[in-house]
Amino acid sequence: MLAELNVEYDNRKIGPRTGETQTEAYKAINPKGKVPVLIHGNLVISESFAIARYLRRTFKGPEFDAHQLSSEGVARFDELASFMLMELDATSLYIIRRHHDLAEIYGEAPNAVISAKAYFRKMLDEGLPKPALTGFVWGRSFSELDILLTTILDWADAIDIVLPEHCHAYRHRMHQRPGYILGTANNKP
């Protein structure tokens, strides 16, 4: 979101499994011992989506359209955010991460991985059908939901979940955004 908003920032690369996040110095910043963390003045925020929302509200960025400003639009935002964070990310992708990529820590669970991949695809097909991804996810302008969904789709593709063609087309459009290109370049480990 910093790159999308063209805000200058200092990026400190910290590997989540290197032990750096468990040091006393890091835990003084974020007691959860997780990345990412945004420090803006005296404010410290440690969850990716909360960081994106804060930045969108704090710095001048894409204008909200009439739908996005309406009660119905805000309710739709909340619904989409909850759906993506819970059904696509936590319930599906993170199960795969834990029991496939991090099996040495959490234990192998091949059936859970297979089920999580199938559940992800089912939720993607039902929750974000083709018409929902012809432009931006929410309204007529770019939002933090587009960052969230692009990240989710990138992750799903990386772990060999077959994505529908309209999801590939959406990802391709999001990958062409100058903010995505800059953010990706700035955040490569």
44 and 117 co-located in one domain: no
For residue 20, list its beta bridge partners: none
The pLDDT tens digits for 71-93 are 999 999 999 999 999 999 999 99
Of 61, 88, 110, at which residue does a domain stop? 61
As for how many domains the chain has, the answer is 2
51 and 70 co-located in one domain: no
74 and 111 co-located in one domain: yes
Check which CATH number belongs to the domain holding 49 and give it.
Answer: 3.40.30.10
Check which CATH number belongs to the domain holding 153 and give it.
Answer: 1.20.1050.10
- Does the pLDDT value for residue 189 go beyond 70? no
Q: Which domain holds residue 19?
A: 1-61
Sign of CA dihedral 34, 39, 43, 48: negative
Burial class (CB in 10 A: 0-12, 13-18, 19+), 24: exposed
pLDDT of residue 64: 87
43 and 74 co-located in one domain: no
Quickly state the pLDDT bin for 59 (edges 50, 70, 90).
very high
155 and 73 co-located in one domain: yes
Q: What is the mean pLDDT of the chain?
A: 92
Mean pLDDT of 150-158: 96
Q: Is the pTM of the predicted complex or chain greater than 0.85? A: yes
pLDDT of residue 98: 92
Is 147 domain-assigned?
Answer: yes
113 and 143 co-located in one domain: yes
Q: SS3 for 38?
A: strand
42 and 89 co-located in one domain: no
- Of residues 84 and 64, the one with the higher pLDDT is 84
Is 9 domain-assigned?
Answer: yes
Burial class (CB in 10 A: 0-12, 13-18, 19+), 156: buried
Is 130 domain-assigned?
Answer: yes
CB atoms within 10 A of CB 141: 15
140 and 119 co-located in one domain: yes
